[in-house]
């Protein structure tokens, strides 16, 4: 037929063309039909047809259709001329046995018949004979497309593997970082960790407290203005709410410490302040009043600081009653002993240079006992340790009695009286000569005395008894005190030993006289902090940025000391400072001068300082320190002591001793 566009309504009439089945059975109602559709120029829709069983070789199919003019036409097509994409399907028979036979060839993009290209196939529809015809819609992909698809899948899998590996690497990095952070964490301190750490705390945790304090300040300012303007009712209201807010605050340092009624008090105060602002607000007047209040607060704060510092100095220099009781009891029992019972054994070891010798100069019995006990407890060979203790005349019997009753296990000990050193006199020692002078008496005892607590703390420090005691200056005469020793370890009485110190005797001082731990950090504790560099005698001889060091635990090479005449250097500078223009007080400034360029820096772990004034020391450094030093006013035997550091000292106190119990000295 000629190609033309027309609407085609196709009716399939199946004609069975004379062939019977091989078994000779009747075809009356059992014959099934197929309704294929053809590709022909006139056929644009589904074609239904009837067909015999597909096992017949030649089946003629009669097609009836309507052409463009509306005329009904017929055409005959043989089954062998059908496209290879047609499928033959049979429904189940009467007995329920499903029989399938397919003439199925995968569709290709060829046109075997002119009807195949334009006629749509019916999908899943049965004809009146129960035969269903399906067309296979899928076609085989081109090899190039298959290769692209395969490469795309491979890239997708490779990318997935890379992302998984990257996630694993990131996870491992996070774990390693967490482990390193955990190692650096100081678990010795009771801090806040994880979500309770300080950086995670609410930054506005004291917002209500600050608001109430600000309200009180404003209320006082408005109250003063109200009183000046005779606004008595407003004045009374402001002062009343001020007192109530102050009571609600109490001693709180954050919102958590406020009383439950604090928020209500803040709201009430807000209403009163709003009324006061409406009635009294004048920018200039209020600004002047707040400025006056600020100046008054600063003056009061400075006064409180001076009083606090004065009282701390006074408390630090005052002997508590239990510590005053202890030497009294010991002194009494000492004089009750026979003379031969007052001597220490092993005197032959006192001048043996092959042993480990310690020098302790103190008038505090309890503190000295802690130094000795802590040293012996950590010594690997206690029998090789010798302690030389020097005290004053007042405490000599008590100090001697304590170590007679409580001798250090295995170690040798000797207690001497500084007044027995007859060579230590004013003709030889410049410090003694200066202390006896009228000018020094005037300086220490009269010129700087004050009638109030507000005169400052330096004046009180100048009158500190330890600066007037020869025990404090005796460290500059070690070769004279111990003429037969070659090396000695000097210890203050406010230190605690936590490790074996015998390795210090094997430290090579490289020709230096003094082995000490340096204390300078950045610009702190350098020479310009202790010496007067405005004086040319100081500025021309010393570097202001030279690093300072600490007394308290020092290794002294006495042979080198004698060779360099260190005591003579000390005398020279002490005489030059008779008018106190080079330095003001203490033994550290003359020590820095005397041992200038003669001090060997020891590792910081040998000597940890600051337990007597700094509450923010690193606890790990304290635990690892061979010696910890309570330098400062907060000595561990005082109530002023920093509580978290006190245990390092108290663990070496013999609280079960009868003398301590009688004097009520306990933890």
pLDDT tens digits, 241-293: 999 999 989 888 888 888 888 889 999 999 999 999 998 888 888 888 889 98
Q: CA–CA separation, 141 vs 374, rounded Å?
A: 91
* CA proximity to 517, closest of 536, 532, 535, 495: 495
Structure tokens at 37: 């559709």
Cα 611 to Cα 628: distance, rounded to the nearest angstrom: 7
In terms of pTM, does the model score above 0.85?
Answer: no
Tokens of 93: 């028979």
Distance, in Å, from the CA atom of 45 to the CA atom of 119, rounded to the nearest integer, reads 5
d(CA 261, CA 621): 45
Residue pair 114/41 in contact by the 8 Å Cβ criterion? yes
- In the sheet that holds 627-629, the strands lie side by side as 495-497, 627-629, 607-608
Alpha carbon distance, N-terminus to C-terminus of the chain: 122
| Residue 15 near residue 61 (C-beta atoms within 8 A) | yes
**What is residue 306's predicted lDDT score, i.e. its pLDDT?**
85
Q: What is the pLDDT of residue 445?
A: 60
**Is the Cβ–Cβ distance between 542 and 531 less than 8 Å?**
yes
In whole angstroms, give the CA distance from residue 503 to residue 412: 19
Distance from C-alpha of 202 to C-alpha of 263, rounded to nearest angstrom: 18
Predicted confidence at residue 490, as pLDDT, reads: 97
pLDDT beneath 50: ranges in the chain:
1-56, 91-139, 189-200, 447, 451-457
Q: Do β-strands 356-361 and 487-491 pair in parallel, antiparallel, or remain unpaired?
A: parallel
Torsion angle of alpha carbons 629, 635, 639, 640, nearest 10°?
Answer: -90
Q: What is the dihedral of CA 309, 312, 313, 318, to 10 degrees?
A: 160
In DSSP notation, 293-313 reads HHHHHHHHHHHHHHHHHHHHH
- HSE-CB at 554 with a 13 A cutoff on CA atoms is 27
- Rg of the chain's alpha carbons, rounded to an integer? 53
CA distance 494 to 362: 9
Contact predicate 100/89, CB 8 Å: yes
The answer to whether 212 and 266 have CB atoms below 8 angstroms apart is: yes
pLDDT at 571: 95
- CB-CB contact of 83 with 73 (8 Å): no
């Amino acid at each position: 037929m000629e190609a033309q566009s027309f609407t085609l309504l196709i009716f399939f009439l199946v004609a069975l063309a004379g062939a019977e089945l091989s078994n000779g059975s009747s075809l009356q109602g059992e014959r099934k039909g197929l309704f294929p559709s053809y590709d022909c120029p006139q056929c644009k829709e589904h074609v239904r047809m009837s067909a015999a069983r597909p096992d017949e070789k030649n089946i003629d199919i009669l097609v009836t259709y309507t052409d463009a003019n509306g005329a009904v036409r017929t055409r005959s097509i043989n089954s062998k001329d059908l496209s290879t994409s047609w499928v033959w399907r049979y429904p189940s028979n009467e007995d329920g046995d499903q029989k399938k036979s397919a003439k199925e060839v995968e569709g290709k993009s060829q046109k075997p018949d002119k009807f195949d290209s334009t006629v749509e196939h019916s999908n899943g529809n049965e004809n009146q004979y129960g035969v269903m015809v399906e067309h296979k819609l899928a076609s085989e992909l081109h090899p190039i497309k298959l290769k692209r698809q395969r490469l795309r899948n491979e890239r997708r899998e490779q990318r997935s593997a890379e992302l998984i590996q990257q996630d694993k690497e990131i996870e491992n990095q996070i774990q390693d970082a967490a482990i390193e952070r955990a190692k650096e964490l100081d678990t010795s301190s009771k801090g806040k960790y994880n979500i309770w750490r300080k950086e995670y705390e609410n930054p506005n945790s004291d917002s209500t407290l600050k608001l109430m304090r600000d309200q009180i300040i404003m209320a006082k300012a408005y109250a003063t203005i109200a009183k000046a303007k005779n606004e008595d009712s407003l004045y009374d209201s402001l002062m009343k709410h001020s007192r109530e807010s102050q009571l609600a605050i109490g001693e709180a340092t954050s919102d958590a410490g406020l009383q439950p009624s604090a928020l209500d008090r803040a709201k009430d105060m807000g209403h009163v302040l709003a009324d006061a602002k409406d009635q009294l607000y004048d920018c200039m007047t209020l600004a002047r009043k707040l400025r006056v209040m600020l100046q008054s607060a600063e003056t009061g704060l400075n006064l409180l600081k001076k009083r606090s510092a004065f009282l701390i100095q006074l408390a630090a220099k005052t002997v508590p009653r239990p510590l005053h009781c202890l030497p009294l009891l010991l002194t009494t029992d000492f004089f009750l002993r026979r003379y031969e019972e007052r001597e220490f054994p092993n005197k032959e070891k006192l001048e043996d240079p092959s042993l480990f010798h310690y020098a302790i100069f103190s008038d505090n019995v309890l503190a000295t006992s802690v130094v000795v006990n802590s040293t012996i407890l950590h010594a690997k060979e206690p029998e090789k340790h010798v302690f030389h203790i020097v005290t004053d005349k007042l405490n000599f019997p008590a100090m001697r009695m304590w170590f007679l009753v409580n001798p250090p296990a295995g170690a040798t000990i000797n207690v001497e009286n500084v007044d027995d050193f007859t060579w230590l006199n004013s003709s030889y020692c410049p410090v003694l000569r200066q202390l006896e002078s009228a000018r020094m008496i005037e300086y220490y005892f009269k010129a700087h005395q004050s009638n109030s607590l507000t005169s400052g703390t330096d004046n009180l420090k100048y009158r500190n008894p330890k600066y007037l005691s020869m025990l404090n200056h005796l460290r500059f005469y070690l070769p004279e005190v111990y003429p037969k020793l070659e090396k000695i370890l000097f210890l203050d009485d406010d230190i605690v030993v936590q490790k074996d110190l015998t390795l210090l005797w094997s430290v090579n001082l490289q020709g230096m006289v003094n082995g000490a731990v340096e204390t300078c950090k950045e610009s702190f504790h350098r020479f310009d902090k202790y010496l007067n560099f405005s004086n040319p005698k100081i500025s021309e001889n010393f570097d202001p940025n030279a690093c300072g060091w600490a007394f308290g635990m020092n290794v002294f090479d006495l042979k080198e000391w004698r060779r360099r005449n260190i005591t003579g250097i000390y005398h020279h500078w002490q005489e030059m400072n008779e008018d106190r223009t080079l330095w003001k007080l203490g033994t550290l400034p003359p020590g820095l001068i005397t041992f200038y360029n003669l001090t060997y820096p020891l590792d910081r772990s040998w000597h940890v300082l600051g337990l007597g004034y700094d509450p923010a020391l690193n606890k790990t450094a304290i635990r690892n320190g061979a010696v910890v030093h309570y330098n400062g006013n907060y000595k561990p035997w005082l109530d002023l002591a920093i509580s978290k550091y006190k245990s390092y000292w108290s663990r070496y106190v013999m609280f079960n001793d009868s003398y301590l119990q009688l004097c009520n000295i306990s933890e």
